[in-house]
Amino acid sequence: MILEGFEIENWQCIKKVSVTDLPATGVIVLHGPNRRGKSSIVRALRACLMDYPSTTTALKSCYPRGTDKKPVVAVTFQAAGTAYRITKHFGSNKSKFESKTPEGAWKVETTACAEAHDRACDYAGGDDSTKGLHQLLWLTQSEFRLPDAKKFDANVQAQLRAILGVLQTPLDDRFIERVKKRWNVWYSGQRKPGKQQELKESCKLAENLKKLKVGQKELQDSEARFGEVEGLLRQTDELELRKFDLKRQLEDRTSDQKTLTEEHRRSQVRIEARLRAEKDHASAEKERTAALQEQQQRVEAAQRCLEDVAAIEPARKKVDEAGQVVKSAQEKREQVRTDLAKLRDRRRDLQDRANRVAIKLRAMVLAEQLVAAQREVDHAEAVTHEIAQMERYLVENPAPNEATLEALKTNRQRWSQLNADQQAASIDLTVIREKDASASRLAIDGGAFQDVPVSDAPFVHAVQRKAELLIAGWGGVQLNRGGGSGDLDQLEEDLRKCNEDFANAVASFGISASDPQALDLLIERLSEHRIRKPEIAKKKNALKQRAPNGLGALHTKVVELQTKLADIPATDPADSETLPTEQGELEKLAASLKSQMEIQDADIQTLDNQIEDADTGVATARNRETADKELLATCKAKANSSRQELARLRTEEEITQRVKDADRAMGEAELQLKQTELSDDECTIDGRLEAVEEAVGALEKQIEENTKKYHEIKGRLIASEGLHAQRSSVAARVDELTRLTERESLEKDAVDRLYALFEECREKQLGTLMGPIHDRVLRWMRVLDIGDYKEVRFNDAFLPDKLMSRDGTAEFSILEESTGAQEQIGMLVRLALGSTLASADEPAVAMLDDPLTHCDIGRLTKMRVILRRAAEGDVRLIPPAGPLQIVILTCHPEWFRDERATVIDLENPEVMSRWAV
């Protein structure tokens, strides 16, 4: 159904509105300012087409006020290729339903109120404008959110399902809710595709896994202990066997020990005799060795003594030779020292001459510097004097500044002007005294009477206020100015003030105001100041450059130079040498002297070096001499020592006798040794007895250790009591937990898989069923720059449910978007779904009252394009998107004005007239 036009009369503020020839598809903009009745139009159309029969009383609030007229609404529409018109006179049973004949005439189908209403509803798609497709496409003001899925018209859903197919059944909903609930037993949050979810710590499975881990550890420990016990059991057998074996060995060894002890006792006498012989033999051997050693020692001492005495004479000879070398070196050094002293005397003479030359040269330089400094002082003093004179002049002849002078000039001009004005305001009193006329005296303006001279030419006096003429013999004439002499008073006052100002001004410059040249004088002074001031500055600058630190510094310099010159010592008059008076000659002489001194300095250095070498030579010779002397002393000491050592030893005869005695004793001891020789058994009896004793001890120890170990194992075995039950209990727990966790893990994985598959399948289903709508909405959202979403998730009611982020990891509710974006997404979905339900043969009407109020201008521009495209439909889509007739009622026509849109101005009186409010 599409609208062709409508005519509404007497609906609230609307007196009449008539819109005809609406285009079948496209965007139609009805605009007018606020409170012009736009929403009333929508309500009237809803009432007429769907909501109420004409007899209703529910619309009384829509009747116009201040009149008894009742609303009449007529809507012309097209459905299934035929045009119809429904006319309802509300507040009565007068209704009419007409159809248009092929010839263009209107044929009344029915005038029965109820039937007309039903027929209209049939074509309009229902008797409730808030249901059916209208729920999607007929929007009242401020209605921008999509309907709740539960409240979304089931009929529309059914239509969509018929076109698109089944998306998600209620069973699917219940199923996935159950799966999610189970999934949430193990995990928290939402399942994220492709991401390994962390098990909830609080879930039973996690707890059991933890317990299992602990149990496994316990079991492992328990098994280890059990293994240990088993090992101990095995060991006990071995220990038993070993115990028997050790006891047998001990018995054998104890028997051996007894036999050997007896044998040891029997051979003890012989062994002791043998031991004594061995001891005597060792003593004799020791004495013999000592005697021989002493004999050898004496021979060596005698030899050493002879050698040490022989070494004394060569040492003494060497000491004498060294003394000679020292003497020779000392003589050579004395000769060099004498030569050096002579050379130094000559050098000192040269130095004295050079000093005198240098002093004279310095005196000459200082004298020159003193002359120059004195010149500077003179010049600076002259400049200073000039500056002082000029400054004095300026002080004595002060001049006004430019502004003051200008003010004075103005004053004088004003004074001239005031004078002229006063002149003009005065009365010319012309007096002519004839020759013979009696004397007359004239007093003007209070001044003294003066004789009026006789003249051929008349005298003209300017009288300002009063003139008195006294004519002798005649009387007097008095001329008085009248009372209206205010202007003159003012002039006089101004003149007085002007003069007073002038007098005050010039007086400060030492000039009398009465001096008619006063102003000229000031001008002249100013001119003079202008010339002199830069000159003074220039001179001061020059002076500053010559004497930056003032005249004092120049004077100080002169005095310093004079002092320095005075400090130069005068030439000794006894000095036989006369120095040149010319500076050049003096400088040459100085250079010559310097050259000679340098040569002598080199010679002195050479001699110094030679003395140093000679000193070294003397020191070396002395060291040698000392060393030789020490050697001699050593030789003497050694010889003494050898002699003393020889003296300490026994005599040769004594030593020979000692050796003979020792040889004899040795022979006797060897004989005794031979007589007491032991058999092999006697020799080894001690070792054998010791070995068997050790063996017995070791066996006893082993038996003791074995017994200890046996008891230890026994104790440990007894301590293992209860281990079996504990091990069983732990193992049972571990087994149970293993079974439980395996089972639950499998269930968890199965639930996770179901969840994943459901999501995947739902995605695919969505792609298949909602693909065209989804793609269209998402494309439009991207045109509008609404978020950066990968997809819009639709619920089974074909309404958007969630928005998925670009990377697919985050899910957002549409309510998380801004109000504007929610409104826009809602509009896009309405348009997409509406287009799906519309067809080229049967376009649908979208009635949008004041839409997109939360949309910014940028998006509105894009939205215009989207509205136009939605209105055009798209046959390429599967299922095809049908065209729409989009009627927009707005107070912002500029938002929706498009070159292809049909724009109707409700302000146009030909379109709409209103009741006076």
Partner 1 sequence: MIRFMHAADLHLGLRVTRFEENACNRIGEARFTALQQLRERAAEHRVDFILIAGDVFDDHSVSRTDVAVRTFAILEGSSNSCPVFIIPGNHDPLVPGGVWERDPWLRAQPHLRVHFLRHAEPVAVPGFPVTLFPCPLRQRRSMVDPTAWIERHPRAKDDRTIRIGLAHGSLNIMPLPEDDHLIRNDAADHYGLDYLALGHWHKRSSHKSSDGVERTAYSGTHESMHFPGSHGDISIGWSSFSADGDAERFRDDGHGSALLVTIDTAGAPPRIEPIEIGRLRWSAEKRDVSSQPLGDLISDYARREIPERTILRLILSGVVEPRGHARIDELNQIVLNRYHAGSSLDADAVLIEPNADQLSEIVGLGVLKRVLERLKEDAQSTNAALKRVAEPGLKLLYRIAWEEQPK
List interacting residues with partner 1 (CB under 8 A): 166-169, 171-172, 174-176, 178-179, 226, 229-230, 232-234, 236-237, 240, 710, 713-718, 720-725, 727-729, 731-736, 746-747, 749-754, 757-758, 760-762, 764-765, 796
Which CB sits closer to partner 1, 237 or 841?
A: 237
Q: Which of 170, 516 has the CB closer to partner 1?
A: 170
Q: Would you say 180 or 546 has its CB closer to partner 1?
A: 180
In the complex with partner 1, which residue's Cβ is closer, 544 or 743?
A: 743
CB of 152 to partner 1, least distance (A): 17
Q: How far is the CB of 230 from partner 1 (least distance, A)?
A: 7
Nearer to partner 1, 365 or 754 (CB): 754
Long-range contacts of 588-593 (CB under 8 A, 24+ apart): 589/357, 590/354, 590/357, 590/358, 590/361, 593/350, 593/353, 593/354, 593/357
**Cβ neighbours of 196 (radius 10 Å):** 6
Peptide bond into 893 cis (omega under 30): no
Contacts made by residues 14-17, CB under 8 angstroms, sequence distance 24+: 14/40, 14/41, 14/44, 14/64, 14/912, 14/913, 14/914, 14/915, 15/64, 15/913, 15/914, 15/915, 16/912, 16/913, 17/41, 17/906, 17/911, 17/912, 17/913
Are 826 and 145 contacting, i.e. CB atoms less than 8 angstroms apart? yes
Q: Please measure the distance between the N-terminal and C-terminal CA atoms of the chain and give it in whole angstroms.
A: 35
**Minimum gap (Å) between residue 228 Cβ and partner 1:** 11
Kindly provide the residue ranges of all beta strands, DSSP E only, lying in 365-456, ordered along the sequence: 427-431, 440-444, 450-451
- Which CB, 239 or 866, lies closer to partner 1? 239
Q: Least distance (Å) from partner 1 to the CB of residue 270?
A: 52
Write down the least CB distance from residue 755 to partner 1, Å. 10
Least distance (Å) between residue 186 CB and partner 1? 14
In whole angstroms, the minimum distance from the beta carbon of 770 to partner 1 comes to: 12
Which of 483/722 has CB closer to partner 1? 722
Using the minimum distance from each CB to partner 1, give the nearer residue, 441 or 716. 716
Instruction: Say which residues have a Cβ less than 8 Å from residue 839's Cβ, sequence separation at least 6.
Output: 880, 882
Element (H, E) at 805: strand 800-805
- Determine the Cα–Cα distance for residues 707 and 167; give it in Å rounded to an integer: 85
| Minimum distance from residue 761 beta carbon to partner 1 (Å) | 4
Tally of CA atoms within 13 A in the half-sphere of 490 that contains its CB: 6
Cα–Cα distances (Å) from 880 to 157, 395, 779, 874, 883, in that order, read: 17, 109, 16, 6, 10
Q: What's the min distance (Å) between Cβ of 796 and partner 1?
A: 7
Please report how close the Cβ of residue 156 comes to partner 1 at its closest, in angstroms: 19
Centre a 10 Å sphere on the Cβ of residue 744 and count the other Cβ atoms it contains.
17
Instruction: Output b/e per residue, 773-787; b: 16+ Cβ within 10 A.
Output: bbebbbebbeebebb
Q: With residue 77 as reference, give the H or E element that holds it.
A: strand 72-79
Nearer residue to partner 1 within complex by CB, 289 or 728: 728
Q: Which residues, 6 or more positions from 374, have their beta carbon under 8 angstroms from its beta carbon?
A: 558
Burial (Cβ within 10 Å: 0-12, 13-18, ≥19) of residue 565: middle
> Coil, strand, or helix at residue 321?
helix
Q: How far is the CB of 205 from partner 1 (least distance, A)?
A: 15
Q: Shortest Cβ distance from residue 174 to partner 1 (Å)?
A: 4
- 551 or 723: whose CB is closer to partner 1? 723
CA distance 211 to 738: 10
In terms of CB distance, is 233 or 619 closer to partner 1? 233
Shorter beta-carbon distance to partner 1: residue 244 or 581 = 244
| CA dist., res. 698 & res. 721, Å (int) | 35
